[in-house]
Structure 1
Amino acid sequence: MREYTEPVREFIRVKEKEHTESMREREYRANKRDIDTYVCIHRTTLCVIQIPDGTHNFSAKLKMCVYCTPYICSVFIL
């Protein structure tokens, strides 16, 4: 294990925490099936989008999600 200075270690801790929270949030949305669920796939990003709630990480008009903006994504229904 490499030795890092304290500011670098803190930066790594923050990034790991953000990544973990982001993955938890995506997993939560993936498991929520009470309304129609769409998946927005752009490159390696897999984003779960809730419809018809247009405010939930998705613009139905533009077919994009917050993770992929400003890219137009392919939208598939599960």
Structure 2
Amino acid sequence: MQPDCGCVVTVVPTFREMSMRRMLLLAGCTLMLAGLAACHQEGPAEKAGSSLDNAGNKVQDTLDPPQGPGQAAGRKVDRALGN
């Protein structure tokens, strides 16, 4: 039977474990930065193009109005999906 001396055992990470942790941390940070870089803001040409698209949709609705709420909803869905 071993006497209970109240000793605390600490685990010291090896060099390999520490380097793996650093590499995982670096990979995680790199992925987060890549995600931020992928964020896209519209430029002036894209804003002008979407304004033209909206104007064209308004003209279409004026010249050929939807026949009832079902067709109006269908047009909204088509425009949202880009069809």
Q: TM-score range by the shorter chain?
A: 0.3 to 0.5
Larger strand fraction of residues: 1
Task: Report the TM-score when normalising by structure 2.
Answer: 0.32
Task: Report the TM-score when normalising by structure 1.
Answer: 0.34
Greater RCO between the two (CA within 8 Å, min separation 6)? 1
Larger helix fraction of residues: 2
Q: Radius of gyration: which is bigger?
A: 2
